[in-house]
Chain A
Amino acid sequence: EAEVAQSPRYKITEKSQAVAFWCDPISGHATLYWYRQILGQGPELLVQFQDESVVDDSQLPKDRFSAERLKGVDSTLKIQPAELGDSAMYLCASSPNGGLRSTEAFFGQGTRLTVV
């Protein structure tokens, strides 16, 4: 069964260091989402891609976060420099359709980031 792949599963980093997460969506899925989930809260959308284009990054802290999906397939989310408040689960999801046809989304296993 096709899955959304994420790596690493766990990451511990010191504050002010750079950290990167990788996501490979289900093959053929046009839409890719990055979410941040703080313990006890629902996922918060950071960035949404439709193919290689950013559709929504209104909640992405652009002074320290960046995201790319250069070939419209896999994606990388980077934080530089990391802060203690960035400790959270970072989730990637993909959807087969986009825009007006969006109806379902599938999640990867997530990357749990701890900033010390």
Chain B
Amino acid sequence: EDKVVQSPLSLVVHEGDTVTLNCSYEVTNFRSLLWYKQEKKAPTFLFMLTSSGIEKKSGRLSSILDKKELSSILNITATQTGDSAIYLCAVFSGNTGKLIFGQGTTLQVKP
């Protein structure tokens, strides 16, 4: 059965800290891995990683895909209170384009 597992499930840091969020997957026919940020509404897209694009960076956020280890990390440097959110990892798999989500990591950044 396809699955996506994120860790940790929750994390509390202080402003300025650097955090690393983890995502591992076991899926058939991997297509891409997506990271989303979710505040008290629908998820907003952060990054898409594929076999041809295994590293992405946008400002203080960066993400790497390790196809050998079937995992990805999302790094956030110099965290701010506005980074507080749920971070979701999702993977497209299989021949039908099924999009499977992990449980999410809840990040709280304290002033």
Contact = CB atoms under 8 A, between A and B. Distances in A.
Interface string B67-85: 0000000000000000000
A59 B8 CA distance: 26
Given A42-B88, A110-B42, A103 B48 contact: yes
A101 B97 contact: yes
A103 B103 contact: no
A50 interface: yes
Contacts of A44: 101
A50 B99 contact: no
Interface residues of A, number: 31
Contacts of B48: 103-104
11 contacts: A43-B90, A45-B100, A45-B101, A50-B97, A98-B97, A100-B31, A101-B97, A105-B92, A107-B36, A107-B44, A108-B42
Given A55-B96, A103-B92, 8 more contacts: A42-B104, A45-B100, A50-B97, A95-B99, A98-B96, A100-B29, A102-B32, A102-B99
Interface of A: 31, 33, 35, 40-45, 48, 50, 55-56, 89, 91, 93, 95, 97-110
